[in-house]
Amino acid sequence: MLRKSWYFLQNSVAGGAVIIAVFSILSRVFGLLRDRLLSSNFGAGQTLDAYYAAFRLPDLIFNTLVLGALSSAFIPIFLSYWQRNKDEAWRIANSVLNVLLILISGLVIVLFIFAPFFVYLMVPGFNQPTRLLTINLTRIMLISVLFFTFSNLFGGILNSFRRFLAYSLAPVMYNLGIIFGILFLVPPFGLAGLAWGVVFGAFLHLLVQWIAAHRTGFRWQLALDYLHPGVKKIGLLMLPRCFGLAISQFNLIVTTLIASFLVVGAVAIYNLAFNLISFPINIFGTSLAIAVFPVFSQTLINGQIKEFIYHFSKTVRRILYLIIPISFIYILLRAQIVRLVLGAGLFSWRDTVLTAEAVGFFSLSLFAQALIPVLARAFYAQQDTKTPVKVALICLVINLVGGIILAQLMGIGGLALAFSLSSIINLALLISILNRRFGNLDLKKIINSLIKIIFFSILMAGIVQLVKYQIAPLVNMQTFVGVLIQFLCAVGIGGLVYLILSLIFRFEEVIIIKEQVLRLIKRKAD
């Protein structure tokens, strides 16, 4: 019976999404604990400004090159060769890994040597001590990129085989490594311990996926067959995706640059707020996008357009059903969320207010941020990595111009609002292009669901707001317990209303979830 249930989880989109979502929740919980430890121990000041700024150069290398290969190019090509010749598929995997390692090792050395120059360009608004700390942390964190190169190629292999367990566990291990650094490496090594915690987390991220990839049959080979047609095709598909991710990273770098000229702690507050709103995006949007990507690829390889549209529509509707009510909750309870997760120790009331403001503006585009990974993978499954890049370039300009203007008018909140506006435009452009390409993306059904979801979410929001104000006088809102009680009551009663309305009106998404749960229970009984 357990074997049947595990087979369902590993070999269906919904099952894969469940595995990814469960471990994503666990990872994000540890991520929130990580942020709470950082905020309470250091506050939103110069130390955390330097810490978050130090991620920019390592992330530029990793997200541009490694993630560019695996998220868009590797899986479809690897799967197509696997169906023809397994040995050849493994050789392609090893060649891609070895080429990336040589390239990235060279870039790491260059950035290590010239870190002072690049950091100055990136955060010219930092004072000298904060800039020096950023340089030191950056140099240590660059080591993590080498571990992530191995780890994420293993993740691509596991995704191809729909082995989601180790892939989903890896981010948990990464956050545990960072937490270990905060608690046990900072006391003996000082602030450098923060960066060594990141490196240790990257090593754990690699270790858990290497073990799982080894079980699928992967064996490292000294292969550098960069002229192989499969490797060349991955490289050609990577180029536009790498450019697109470089745009995204440049976006973050310029946002960091703008924030460095704002109040002390602006870089930290922007990142802490973004991490808070990333919680539901990773759990619902990214998990479903990752799980459905192999299905998108396989249906298009087989020419099953109707199957592709069916899975696309169903995935979009599921994400909207979950993410829109969460958006309302984030907007209405943003101060409570910030106080519960970050409001301790050196994290001041001023930090809380600024972070809550940024969370509110980020929340306006939660639906767009959650859907963009699915839309992007719909293009990648067609082996089209150029279109999302063109759209990303347009949205980069919108975000940067909006960020410069709105940051002057609204401070940190303006940066968050500019990001939300560019995300919504990004989504609109992607879905418009995709719909024209396929002629019909089942948009009528998606829009009908969206109208119901918004209506139910507004009713839920009214209940949340009512309960919030009713509970406040009954508890001590100056304490963690009081804020927690208010939050849980408002979310619990509001969420229950949303669920009951969905069941009464036989909303398709909740009926599907109900049927899957009943099916699992029945299998357990058998």
Report which of 419, 334, 403 is spatially closest to residue 368, judged by C-alpha positions. 419
How distant, in Å, are the alpha carbons of 290, 434, 445, 483 from that of 438? 21, 6, 16, 49
Cβ atoms 52, 265 nearer than 8 A: no
User: Rounded distance, CA 112 to CA 131, Å?
Assistant: 15
Q: Which amino acid is at 399?
A: N
Q: What is 298-317 written as a DSSP string?
A: HHHHTT-HHHHHHHHHHHHH
Rounded to the nearest 5 degrees, what angle is found at the Cα of 462, between the Cα atoms of 456 and 464? 100
User: Rounded distance, CA 16 to CA 316, Å?
Assistant: 16
User: Rounded distance, CA 47 to CA 129, Å?
Assistant: 10
Q: Which amino acid is at 522?
A: K
Please tell me the predicted confidence (pLDDT) of residue 13. 53
Report which of 447, 6, 75, 508 is spatially closest to residue 296, judged by C-alpha positions. 75
User: Rounded distance, CA 453 to CA 441, Å?
Assistant: 19
Cβ atoms 251, 399 nearer than 8 A: yes
Rounded to the nearest 5 degrees, what angle is found at the Cα of 98, between the Cα atoms of 92 and 101? 140
Please tell me the predicted confidence (pLDDT) of residue 520. 55
Cβ atoms 67, 152 nearer than 8 A: yes
Please tell me the predicted confidence (pLDDT) of residue 78. 80
Mutual angle of helices 305-332 and 508-525, in 10-degree steps: 100
**269-282 burial: b if 16+ Cβ within 10 Å, else e:** bbbbbbbbbbbbbb
Residue for token digits 């010749």? Answer: 85
User: Rounded distance, CA 320 to CA 397, Å?
Assistant: 27
Tens digits of per-residue pLDDT, 367-417?
Answer: 999 999 889 888 888 877 788 888 988 998 999 899 999 999 999 999 999
User: Rounded distance, CA 349 to CA 419, Å?
Assistant: 24
- Half-sphere exposure at residue 133, Cβ-oriented, CA atoms within 13 angstroms: 19
How distant, in Å, are the alpha carbons of 256, 473, 481, 505 from that of 508? 42, 39, 37, 9
Helix, strand, coil: what percent of the chain each, to 5? 85, 0, 15
Which residue stretches of the chain have pLDDT < 50? 1-2, 4, 6-8
**437-474 burial: b if 16+ Cβ within 10 Å, else e:** eeeebbeeebeebbebbeebbeebbebbeebbeebeee
Please tell me the predicted confidence (pLDDT) of residue 6. 46
Q: Which amino acid is at 397?
A: V
User: Rounded distance, CA 418 to CA 106, Å?
Assistant: 35
The pair of three-digit structure tokens given for residue 26, joined into one six-digit string: 């666990």
Cβ atoms 108, 138 nearer than 8 A: no
Please tell me the predicted confidence (pLDDT) of residue 2. 44
User: Rounded distance, CA 471 to CA 487, Å?
Assistant: 9
